[in-house]
Structure 1
Amino acid sequence: MRRSSVFYAVGAFIALLVLATVAALFMTTHKPAPAPVVVGGDTPEQSVQQSVALIKVGDFAGFWKHALPPADYDTLRADWTHPRPDDHPLTPEDRADFIKNMQQLTEPNAETKLYALAKPKLAQLQAQYQDQVPVMIGIFQAIAATGVAQSKELTNAQKQQATEVINVLAPWAQTVPWFDQNRAKQLVGVAVATARKLDLKTPEQLKSMDFDTAMQKYSTGFLGLKQALAIYGLSVDDLLDSVKVTTLDNRNGHARVRIDYTLLGKPLSIESELLQQDGRWYSADMLQNVREAHEHLTAPPAPAASAPAPATSAPIQAMVPAVKH
């Protein structure tokens, strides 16, 4: 295996861990409670704590029901199966890879077969790249931090929060025994068990799911991811259990809360804005994101801009292919 391919493989895996953890933190910032699920929260603190409880058990259907006012929740459900304007069609290669991977993960004795394939490769990678992994992760940390700093979609506060998370995860990732055989065997077992529970045979199944089915699949995937991260020492449950919510400001139906939490032994915090509607409290960011997604989904396509070309450009245009929008 070439060094570049190993670098990108390790980088992609660490990226997955960062994104998974940031996603868990983001969802922690705004939502519901176990059974029975209530819509919104009586107070800003209860709204966040109920969200944390639902995320911990992987109840994403309940999470959305709690996180959104009834009208927005109904809109989300109705929008779920609508085609996305920015969806890219699957290539035959992508479809074939998906089917092949799912077959390998779910066939009889998949755990034994996959671990038998992984074991010699892990030994080879450990011998060749053990000393280079910390350097690779350090490089990825710098790239990720630069990406966050240059992001035009994040606020300054969000950039600071994301950078703090990266700065905690990177040192942890540098010390994790990624090539450990016992952990790899456990990871294969979790991946196989999760794939079997997902029961996905074709990528078309993903695109055609209704809301309720998708939430069940998300729950299965999330719980599997939690198990996988725990094998390498990152407990999402410990993170969620550490959450403490403090109201910083509450007036005229707007509240600002600070969410303190502990990630890998490091105390961190994030702030969240909440809005009160019909006596219930909801995440302001969540409401905005869901409503903007609905507007984007239902907006008519923008007309293609076209202006008559000057007569002198006609010979040039005849030789240039039309640009596809």
Structure 2
Amino acid sequence: MSRPHRLHHRHAAMSWAPPLLLALLLGACGREPVPDELPGAASEPAGAVRLLAEHVRRNDLQAFARDALPAEEHARLAEAWAEGRSRWPLTELPLDEQVGPMLAALSVPGSEQELRQAFDRQLAGQDAALRDAARSLALFGTQYIRTQGDYSDEERAHYVQVVAALSAWSTTAPLGSRDRGHAAIDRLAAAARATGLPGDEALAAAGMEESLRRLGPFAAALKEVLADYGLDLDQSLADLRTGLVEEDGDHAKVRVHYPLAGAEIDTTVSLTRRNGRWYLTDYLEHAASLLAEPAGAPATGAPALPGLPAPPPAQPPDGPAAGR
């Protein structure tokens, strides 16, 4: 079943601000400091969450897909990928369903020059405007997540806090830096070409497993770009801790805590046991929704955060865009 309340305008920003886009798609939440090890850290449900986080830290997207869902759902989603009906598991990660258009834009020969020019027109030197846009997005995003969209209660609590955390990060991140922007474009364009996946048709032809294998280094490059902007996701994942809140039969709730963008992330996630293994309940529900969609439906996935606002207006030649 399609998701009528999802926003699709964020793809308009893909070509000019991939670092900011990736950051704004990430989920995180929380404030409270916690001890070095959470109660119930050795439990199977808590370990299942850490395992997925470690796969992401290692950029092993194939392993993430293997352990995120039972084998039957995994196989059916691989078929849906080849048919263009799904881009799972990218829809559970910062690499969302717009990865095809982003790869296409970055992979074009000579794309760096055009993207640099677009960055200079739209973003270079526009730190104040970008911070204002981030604050506006935080207000809009919070209201949207609380009242709209197809989110679980845990996702709503999670995403409201991530918008606040990343909005705070954006007030100090050098998003308008011309040097950093150009370096990010060069790095991402090279990484996109190295995948050999210049768009959705190539992703479908390669299949889910092979696409995920090739996208691992691209995910690493994206994280390196974000680290250059002061958002070290690998450190966040390395410091992630989990603990068992409760376990009742085939259902469990796990506390997840890690640092992100200067905030202490603290949230809970629900898990369900299938055939002796634990899986995130939201992932199971997202998969069920995807697999229930009719053949020919466009690729969809987990509910995403709202899209970016429009870029700030271009400055005249003698305006701020002329500087760094």
**Corresponding residue to 1:102 among 72, 92, 107:** 107
SS in 2 for 1:104: coil
Q: Which residue of 2 aligns with 1:269?
A: 266
- Determine the C-alpha separation between the residues in 2 that align with 1:68 and 1:171: 34
**Corresponding residue to 2:241 among 238, 241, 244:** 244
Amino acid across the alignment from 1:64: A
Amino acid across the alignment from 2:55: L
1:218-239 CA-partner distances (Å, limit 9, x unpaired): 3233222111111100011011
Q: Which residue of 1 aligns with 2:306?
A: none
SS in 2 for 1:270: strand
1:244 is displaced (CA, Å) by: 0.8
- Equivalent runs, 1:55-204 vs 2, <5 Å: 55-84=56-85, 102-105=107-110, 113=113, 117=117, 121=121, 125-126=124-125, 129-201=126-198, 203-204=200-201
Amino acid across the alignment from 1:55: V
1:135-173 CA-partner distances (Å, limit 9, x unpaired): 222112211112112224123432222111111111211
- Determine the C-alpha separation between the residues in 1 that align with 2:120 and 2:150: 43
1:102-150 CA-partner distances (Å, limit 9, x unpaired): 32357xxx5xx5687478648x942xx4433322221122111121122
Paired positions, count:
260
SS in 1 for 2:291: helix
- Determine the C-alpha separation between the residues in 2 that align with 1:198 and 1:72: 26
- Determine the C-alpha separation between the residues in 1 that align with 2:84 and 2:115: 38
Unpaired stretches in structure 2, ≥5 consecutive residues:
1-11, 30-41, 87-99, 298-324
Q: Which residue of 1 aligns with 2:33?
A: none
- Equivalent runs, 1:219-298 vs 2, <5 Å: 219-297=216-294
Q: Which residue of 2 aligns with 1:17?
A: 22
1:288 is displaced (CA, Å) by: 2.1
RMSD: 3.5
- Determine the C-alpha separation between the residues in 2 that align with 1:156 and 1:47: 21
C-alpha contact (below 8 Å) 1:52/1:240 kept by paired residues: yes
- Determine the C-alpha separation between the residues in 2 that align with 1:267 and 1:201: 37
Unpaired stretches in structure 1, ≥5 consecutive residues:
1-7, 27-40, 86-94, 301-325
C-alpha contact (below 8 Å) 2:103/2:197 kept by paired residues: no
C-alpha contact (below 8 Å) 1:275/1:284 kept by paired residues: yes
Amino acid across the alignment from 1:82: E
1:274 is displaced (CA, Å) by: 1.3
- Determine the C-alpha separation between the residues in 2 that align with 1:98 and 1:282: 30
- Determine the C-alpha separation between the residues in 1 that align with 2:80 and 2:250: 28
Q: Which residue of 2 aligns with 1:213?
A: 210
1:56 is displaced (CA, Å) by: 0.9
- Determine the C-alpha separation between the residues in 1 that align with 2:296 and 2:104: 34
1:252-280 CA-partner distances (Å, limit 9, x unpaired): 12111111111122112121111222222
1:249 is displaced (CA, Å) by: 0.6
- Choose 198-207 or 235-244, whichever is displaced more: 198-207
Q: What's the TM-score, normalizing by structure 1? A: 0.68
Q: What's the TM-score, normalizing by structure 2? A: 0.68
- Choose 61-70 or 213-222, whichever is displaced more: 213-222
C-alpha contact (below 8 Å) 1:18/1:169 kept by paired residues: yes
- Determine the C-alpha separation between the residues in 1 that align with 2:259 and 2:138: 20
Amino acid across the alignment from 1:186: A
- Determine the C-alpha separation between the residues in 1 that align with 2:199 and 2:234: 31
Mark the CA change 1:282 to 1:234 in structure 2 (over 3 Å): closer, same or farther.
same
Amino acid across the alignment from 1:245: T
SS in 2 for 1:153: coil
Q: Which residue of 1 aligns with 2:97?
A: none
Q: Which residue of 2 aligns with 1:88?
A: none
- Determine the C-alpha separation between the residues in 2 that align with 1:268 and 1:275: 23
Mark the CA change 1:103 to 1:146 in structure 2 (over 3 Å): closer, same or farther.
same
C-alpha contact (below 8 Å) 2:82/2:207 kept by paired residues: yes
Amino acid across the alignment from 1:279: G
Mark the CA change 1:222 to 1:105 in structure 2 (over 3 Å): closer, same or farther.
farther
1:154-200 CA-partner distances (Å, limit 9, x unpaired): 23432222111111111211222223233234213312321221223
